[in-house]
Amino acid sequence: MRAWLVFISEQAILLIDALALVAVVVSTVEVCVAVVRIRPFKASGHALRAVWLNYARWLVGALSLQLAADIIETSISTSWDTIGRVASIAVIRTALNFFLDRDVDEKRALQRPDDRSAPTR
């Protein structure tokens, strides 16, 4: 039974890490195209802020996915060295996620005054 759980967990870790990688790559390409399209030197602060907010949201999502994979990996680890390594990576990712999420909230608050005239969705 344990062998099956380990096998399924390893496959889930691989899938979740792949999803995180795809999210980072796709969002990075998307932000590069958007920045080139809006021409940062001529674009308003609002347009640039919207591009970076969208990118940050994707990064927060990718970090959350990687953290989920770390949690699964910890559940199947048998050595304290592996658990310590995964735990330290999880702490770093959690801290990055926290600060990135906080920055997104701050930027969103800055963006709100500019959105008063825009229709709500």
Global pTM reads 0.73
Q: What's the CA angle centered on 83, arms 77 and 88, to 5 degrees?
A: 145
- 3-state DSSP assignment of residue 39: coil
pLDDT tens per residue, range 106-119: 877 876 665 554 45
pLDDT at 114: 52
Least confident of 17-31, 48-62, 74-88, 101-115: 101-115
**Residue 37 CB-density burial (10 A; 0-12 exposed, 13-18 middle, 19+ buried):** exposed
pLDDT tens digits, one per residue of 29-50: 999 999 888 876 777 777 888 8
Which residue reads 């920055």 in tokens? 103
Site of tokens 């096998």: 7
pLDDT-derived band at 121, boundaries 50, 70, 90:
very low
Structure tokens at 21: 């990688």
